[in-house]
Chains A and B, each alone.
Chain A
Amino acid sequence: MLRLLSFAVFLATWWGAAFLAGDQKLPPPPIVLAAVIAEAKSGALFFHLGVTLARVALAFVLAMTLGAALGYLMGRVRLADRLGDPWLILLLHLPALVVIVLAYIWAGLTEVAAIAAIAINKLPTAVVTLREGTRTLDAALDEMADVFAIPRWKAFRHVILPQLAPYLAAAARSGLSLVWKIVLVAELLGRPNGVGFEIGVAFQLFDIPLLLAYSLTFAALVLMIETALVQPVEARLSRWRRRAA
């Protein structure tokens, strides 16, 4: 209910602003909606959204897997932490644009370069979050698993992973938003398709309805994935917390 109200306020503000700014600068909702429908009918909208989504999924999975593994290693092994830390700081502060441009220069304007560049941008935050999580692991529970001779993979799954779950969720959350932002830049600079490419085209043609059509459907997609996927998973993982007395 509240969400609907907040959406209505958004629409009203948009409409009001469009009225004040004029159709040229900010087209009102019906014009943008017409652009969305036209793009959807031609199939272009779904194609570009799909391509972008696939890139997001690939880069996200790649960065999360690698980042979680590295973060866990750095949290557990002092030597790995000492060796990896300078690289981590470098990557954390390297602007996304630099990574993307260098990736395209070194690996060509290819899909691999785009996905690698996006993943590298997200990687360091995942590493940092998981390293912190690993440092907070409860040694008392490790000892318990040790004394009872719980097999390694089982202990990892039932003792370690649940402790890391909030950190994994935090890394996924912040990582996903980062990937959403960067994927469009990577597409704009070096891919012939995807939402970022279309927005680049719309920018060059100064086609504001088209630009808004892609931006808003993209935002809607992000919102849908967030409510349908990320939030339920988070709720399930913290089930035992809520019921705790």
Chain B
Amino acid sequence: MQLEVNIASKVYTNAAGERQEALAGFNFALTAGEVGVFVGPSGCGKSTMLRIVVGLDPDYQGRVSRPPGAKIGMVFQEPRLLPWRSVEENVRLVAPQADEARLSLLFGTLGLEAHRSHFPGELSLGLARRVALARAFAVEPDFLILDEPLASLDDALAARLRGEIATLVDSRTVTTLLVTHSVDDAVHLGDRLFFLSQRPSHVIAEIPIHTPRGKRDAAEIRRIKAELARLALANL
């Protein structure tokens, strides 16, 4: 499903009572099934933008057009699992329609089969992140929102999980928004990269990647990165 975002301005008042503009003229569009990756400096308002897009924050100027009734699956920065429900119950709660076959496939892909009956407090951060991913995919979303899903994981684990996300994103048509600090995530997963400015944040460059995700080998990744470096975007 298509997504069109035009946020003219988002202002909030901080604890000291000062008004700060987080977003200004933040515009982008994604066509159905595209993966848009947002790369920008910390604290530039990426999460603020995501909250507006998913409808958690109605207090902004502008327009977000998202088909009504579209299902959203979201992975927050922190896993946000219910500590008093098991892994499986956490997933089933948001996706009551998911059958056993689908859950098995999902838990299998994400390496969670052995942890189904565990409580989130018994899991490592990496595992909890995977549960959050499983939950987001279990709802068979039309929109998938990933807010730094790989932050603070070690490189090897991040790379594995990145591969798993790529598999899941390609398994069905889902319009995806991924926020990240990592250019690696961006070039591995994105169809369209958006580079963001300092706050008040807006899109300063939009780079489409035409090579399909499955065909991006090491050489291709290097080529895309070199291209980004030439445009002086890789260090943002």
Tell me whether A and B are bound partners.
Answer: yes
Q: Which A residues have a C-beta under 8 Å from some C-beta of B?
A: 140-141, 143-144, 146-150, 154, 158-159, 162, 240-241, 243-245
Asked if residues A148 and B94 are in contact (CB atoms below 8 Å), the reply is yes
Residues of A with C-beta under 8 A to B212: none
Q: Any chain A CB within 8 A of the CB of B156? A: no
Asked if residues B139 and A148 are in contact (CB atoms below 8 Å), the reply is yes
Residues of A with C-beta under 8 A to B78: 140
Asked if residues A240 and B56 are in contact (CB atoms below 8 Å), the reply is no
CB distance from A115 to the nearest CB of B (A): 34
Asked if residues A240 and B80 are in contact (CB atoms below 8 Å), the reply is no
Q: Which B residues have a C-beta under 8 Å from some C-beta of A?
A: 54-56, 71-74, 76, 78, 80, 82-85, 93-94, 119, 121-122, 135, 139, 145
Asked if residues B83 and A158 are in contact (CB atoms below 8 Å), the reply is no
Asked if residues B71 and A240 are in contact (CB atoms below 8 Å), the reply is no
Can you name 4 extra interface pairs (CB under 8 A) apart from A140-B78, A240-B83?
A: A140-B76, A148-B72, A150-B94, A240-B121
Residues of B with C-beta under 8 A to A144: 74, 76, 80
6 contacts between A and B (CB under 8 A): A141-B80, A144-B76, A146-B55, A147-B74, A154-B93, A244-B83
CB distance from A6 to the nearest CB of B (A): 34
CB distance from B85 to the nearest CB of A (A): 7
Please judge, given known A-B contacts A140-B80, A154-B93, A158-B85, whether A243 and B54 are in contact too, CB under 8 Å. no
Please judge, given known A-B contacts A154-B93, A240-B119, A243-B119, whether A147 and B54 are in contact too, CB under 8 Å. yes
Please judge, given known A-B contacts A243-B121, A245-B121, whether A159 and B82 are in contact too, CB under 8 Å. yes
Asked if residues A245 and B72 are in contact (CB atoms below 8 Å), the reply is no
The complex places the Cα of A245 from the Cα of B85 at a distance, in Å, of 15
Residues of A with C-beta under 8 A to B135: 148
**Which residue on B lies nearest to A162, using beta carbons?**
B84
The complex places the Cα of A148 from the Cα of B83 at a distance, in Å, of 17
Asked if residues B93 and A150 are in contact (CB atoms below 8 Å), the reply is yes
The complex places the Cα of A149 from the Cα of B80 at a distance, in Å, of 15
The complex places the Cα of A240 from the Cα of B123 at a distance, in Å, of 13
**Which residue on B lies nearest to A146, using beta carbons?**
B56
**Which residue on A lies nearest to B143, using beta carbons?**
A147
Residues of B with C-beta under 8 A to A141: 80, 82
CB distance from B99 to the nearest CB of A (A): 18
CB distance from A163 to the nearest CB of B (A): 8
CB distance from B178 to the nearest CB of A (A): 16
The complex places the Cα of A159 from the Cα of B81 at a distance, in Å, of 10
**Which residue on B lies nearest to A151, using beta carbons?**
B96
**Which residue on A lies nearest to B145, using beta carbons?**
A147
CB distance from A27 to the nearest CB of B (A): 51
The complex places the Cα of A141 from the Cα of B145 at a distance, in Å, of 16
Asked if residues B71 and A149 are in contact (CB atoms below 8 Å), the reply is yes
CB distance from A167 to the nearest CB of B (A): 14
Asked if residues A243 and B122 are in contact (CB atoms below 8 Å), the reply is yes
The complex places the Cα of A240 from the Cα of B84 at a distance, in Å, of 5
Most B-side CB within 10 Å, residue of A143, A148, A149, A241: A148
Residues of B with C-beta under 8 A to A143: 56, 76, 80
The complex places the Cα of A147 from the Cα of B54 at a distance, in Å, of 7
**Which residue on A lies nearest to B86, using beta carbons?**
A240
Asked if residues B76 and A244 are in contact (CB atoms below 8 Å), the reply is no
CB distance from A152 to the nearest CB of B (A): 13
**Which residue on A lies nearest to B90, using beta carbons?**
A158
Residues of A with C-beta under 8 A to B74: 144, 147-148
Please judge, given known A-B contacts A147-B74, A149-B72, whether A244 and B122 are in contact too, CB under 8 Å. yes
